[in-house]
Amino acid sequence: MARRRYSVFALAREALRYHAGWERAWNSPAPKSRYDVIIIGAGGHGLATAYYLGKNFGITNVAVLEKGWLGGGNTGRNTTIIRSNYLQDPSAAIYEKARSLYETMSQDLNMNVMFSPRGVIMLAQTEHEVRGYQRTAHANSLQGVQTEFISPARVKQLVPIMNIDGPRYPVLGGLWQERGGTARHDAVAWGYARACSGMGMDIIQQCEVTGIRREGGKVTGVTTTRGDIGCSKLGIVVAGHSGVMAEKAGFRLPIESLALQALVSEPIKPCMDVVVMANTVHGYMSQSDKGEMVIGGGTDGFNNYTQRGSFHHIEETLRALVETFPVISRLKMLRQWGGIVDMTGDRSPIISKTPLGGCFVNCGWGTGGFKAIPGSGWAMAELIAKGEPGPLAAEFGLNRFAEGRFIDESVAAGVAH
């Protein structure tokens, strides 16, 4: 059922009646016995898939099943960097599609997702990185992605608080994407959920999928903590739990799950209005609207399913960043957390049919899938609706691992972001 539009008039009306008239952003229905499509996982990718199934293909008899609360996985735990400066053509295409959809997302979803195209710099701090990023800038210009390789002086002009003459890793330049930036992660999940609910879809939280029902090589439904639910098509979009879910569907995925951590400092006055990534020392930082410095580090060195922080990560990440940003050396850190990221060998995602008929998988976004949410949802919806991948997803099939057609993004995605 259609939701009432958010607008300045709605805000004024509610202000006059003490904000007592806002309706719930999405419904919380009990599961029906059957849907045309079930999506497992109400993270950004699962919700965007459902949204584009409805918007682009008119498929609205859809349920999104979530074991916890929507957006409570990596979607609500990331550092929200959005960019599309990847090296390989298929990656540039899907990440640029996503970035361009972010530009109009607030209007599309009628929800302010606070997209802030403040610009992203990837610092070059070794000769190897200079050559690598110059190559990426050339590739991007052929792909129609707007990036440029900038000088150390320009980096300093963009980020005055940066020390570009560090003794170990001086700044030798940077890959600059002016229309990259950040968005409010929760709002992205909430906006898609509200729009899906408005199209009549069911978003069912606290509903863990515990089994996948199949017959004659085809999916027939799922077993959940809230009973059995039938479906004709199933999308598995569960990030760090993709391997677990694939096992229940009777196949294996080339995915490793690892904890990735981030932290924020106490809020300070505005001091940095771009996003900076320093891949050599492995840290990245932006300033939130509240003034906190949002800082991301690396993944654990071993596979695990933990969603919390650890002391040595704070120490490692801050030690790495402090040479380039001496200003953070006395900041108190406020919060730290972790998410379970799903890594493939070539650091590119999987959007694919599976050995089980009617079952499709979207995963492998690893440390960098927030930026891809709208593009990924668009491509996954097309795959589910048509049963075959469209141009955005064509290269990201599972068969690439058997055929050796890797989409190597270890440079673009080698640091966690």
Ligand X SMILES: Cc1cc2nc3c(=O)[nH]c(=O)nc-3n(C[C@H](O)[C@H](O)[C@H](O)COP(=O)(O)OP(=O)(O)OC[C@H]3O[C@@H](n4cnc5c(N)ncnc54)[C@H](O)[C@@H]3O)c2cc1C
Using CB under 6 A, list all residues that contact ligand X.
40-46, 65-68, 72-75, 77-81, 208-209, 237-239, 241, 245, 260-262, 296, 339, 341, 365, 367-371, 417
Q: How far is the CB of 247 from ligand X (least distance, A)?
A: 11
**Complex with ligand X: residue 14 or 208, whichever CB lies closer:** 208
Q: How far is the CB of 18 from ligand X (least distance, A)?
A: 33
Q: How far is the CB of 325 from ligand X (least distance, A)?
A: 17
Q: How far is the CB of 36 from ligand X (least distance, A)?
A: 19
Which residue lies nearest ligand X, judged by its C-beta? 43
* Residue in the structure block whose two tokens are 């993709």: 242
DSSP E strands, 56-190: 62-65, 81-82, 120-124, 148-150, 173-177, 181-182
**Complex with ligand X: residue 164 or 297, whichever CB lies closer:** 297
Q: How far is the CB of 299 from ligand X (least distance, A)?
A: 9
CA separation for the pair 362, 384 (Å, rounded): 11
CA separation for the pair 397, 96 (Å, rounded): 19
Q: How far is the CB of 395 from ligand X (least distance, A)?
A: 19
Helix spans in 175-310 (H): 185-198, 242-249
Packing angle, helices 89-103 and 373-386, rounded to 10:
110
**Complex with ligand X: residue 6 or 397, whichever CB lies closer:** 397
Structure tokens at 174: 């940077």
Q: Which residues, 6 or more positions from 142, have their beta carbon under 8 angstroms from its beta carbon?
A: none
**Complex with ligand X: residue 42 or 94, whichever CB lies closer:** 42
**Complex with ligand X: residue 80 or 140, whichever CB lies closer:** 80
**Complex with ligand X: residue 208 or 408, whichever CB lies closer:** 208
- C-alpha distances (whole Å) from 164 to each of 154, 274, 316, 323, 416 are 11, 16, 20, 9, 22
Reference 53, options 229, 167, 192, 259; nearest CA is 192
**Complex with ligand X: residue 92 or 239, whichever CB lies closer:** 239
**Complex with ligand X: residue 139 or 209, whichever CB lies closer:** 209
Amino acid 302 reads: F
Reference 78, options 278, 399, 347, 368; nearest CA is 368
Q: H or E element: which one contains 142?
A: helix 127-143
Q: How far is the CB of 68 from ligand X (least distance, A)?
A: 4
Reference 120, options 95, 84, 96; nearest CA is 84
Q: How far is the CB of 149 from ligand X (least distance, A)?
A: 22
* Residue in the structure block whose two tokens are 């979207």: 362
Reference 321, options 277, 287, 288, 353; nearest CA is 277
- CA 181 to chain CA centroid, Å, is 13
Q: How far is the CB of 390 from ligand X (least distance, A)?
A: 19
CA separation for the pair 150, 144 (Å, rounded): 18
Q: Is 133 left (phi over 0), alpha (psi -120 to 50) or beta?
A: alpha
Structure tokens at 365: 């976004």
Q: How far is the CB of 365 from ligand X (least distance, A)?
A: 4
**Complex with ligand X: residue 158 or 343, whichever CB lies closer:** 343
**Complex with ligand X: residue 6 or 309, whichever CB lies closer:** 309
**Complex with ligand X: residue 6 or 191, whichever CB lies closer:** 191
- CA 131 to chain CA centroid, Å, is 28
Q: How far is the CB of 78 from ligand X (least distance, A)?
A: 3
CA separation for the pair 313, 336 (Å, rounded): 10
Amino acid 124 reads: A
